[in-house]
Structure 1
Amino acid sequence: MRIMIAEDSVLLREGLTRLLEDLGMTVTAALGDAETLLRAVAAEPPDVCVVDVRLPPTFTDEGVRAALVLRRQWPGVGVLVLSQYVEERYAVDLITGQASRGVGYLLKDRVSDVADLHEALARVAAGGTVLDPEVVAQLLVRSRRRDPLDRLTRRETEVLRLMAEGRSNAAVAAALVVTERAVEKHVTSIFAKFDLPVAEDDHRRVLAVLRFLDAADGGAGRPPAAPHSARRWHRHA
């Protein structure tokens, strides 16, 4: 797997390079700013770009803006965004865009587990989606003022919350003590009530949690149950 890294911290950049190379990956470039990253990708697209949210010169949103450019211009290149904190607006822009397959958003302290990082990169490279559970939890809280969950039945809400924990249909069925076929019907109903177009179901599972954030205005209210999967990230193949 060919990786490019955009990280302004020299220590973290070199540390990630060594870590990924120890995992058998090829780091084709390790860069300190977004503009250099985009030029490097244009010259030789990698399989995945690992991008810090905040890069020079202003250290605000250069990294995530570069990630959005990558998703538009090189949709075959996976993008794994790393952030010190949950940047809600940036996460929404990245995940709910049209080219939102092959994308991940993880907090930096989540990548300390080498096996998890390797699996996240593999999923993103394969076109999957990887979300930090803290990102999912905060985005759900942010959206409560205009809550499409009100359209769901109690059982559909339970299914959605378990989906937000990254559980498969089989795991949801086991948790709710129902058949997997019943869960499939609930998931299909959730997709319909959220007006999600027909697409890969794994992609729609992510949007089922995040779709309504497009219209959210940042209001806060009573949050849903915290995901039990906070120890790991939210993932879809």
Structure 2
Amino acid sequence: MKNLIIASTSTLHQGKPLDYLSQEIKNLYKDSKEVLFIPYARPSGITHEEYTSRVRSIFNKLNIKIRGIHEFNNPIEAIKEAEGIFTGGGNTFLLVSQLYSNKIMTVLSEAVKSGTPYLGTSAGSNICGLSMQTTNDMPIVYPPSLQTLGIIPFNINPHYLDPEPSSIHMGETRETRINEFLAFNNLPVLGLREGSWLVVKNNTIILKGKLSARLFKKGQSAIEIESGTDLSELK
């Protein structure tokens, strides 16, 4: 019954927020009169109200109503009654911490697994994997657990960047960081490049977008996964 879009990013270079996903979003929420927005990933430079207002203006153009979860007295009931859910980007540590502190991590997972349409971008995509350990974000807060929704049987690294051959930067590449994770964890990691997303329908997981993705597995060389590939058996 699962029905998700798991996107690397909300905004492409020189594009407007969610423009490249507009038709996918319309299809995802075609039976939803109102979508519940979870703004918890945004740090204190912007309020939940401001973040939700920005998202509302984008969804208004798609004729979809948005309501922030912070507008409800009971976030648990808000999740259970939602016709559709969107979790936006920001800081994954903050997002996970807020989901646990509001006691909705499990509730959200159960709702999405039961068929509530879900869109995640960036941090909102990170939490769809088994853990948030392959995030790119700074640990600005300390969540009680690194375990996340477990909607898909592998981890996501959104905003995946390839090493730049001409760069003089001597720090770790994204590939290095992911391999550090795999040194201690036996869990596939999919590096989603900008403009790529996963469409999850029931037990089917399909890579979409113009670019390939980068798949990492413990003890193996990373490989390219072409758009259109079925990743349902990846685990």
Above 0.5 in TM-score? no
- Higher-Rg structure is 1
Larger helix share, 1 or 2? 1
TM-score when scaled to structure 1? 0.39
Of structures 1 and 2, the one with the larger relative CO (CA 8 A, separation 6+) is 2
TM-score when scaled to structure 2? 0.39
Larger strand share, 1 or 2? 2
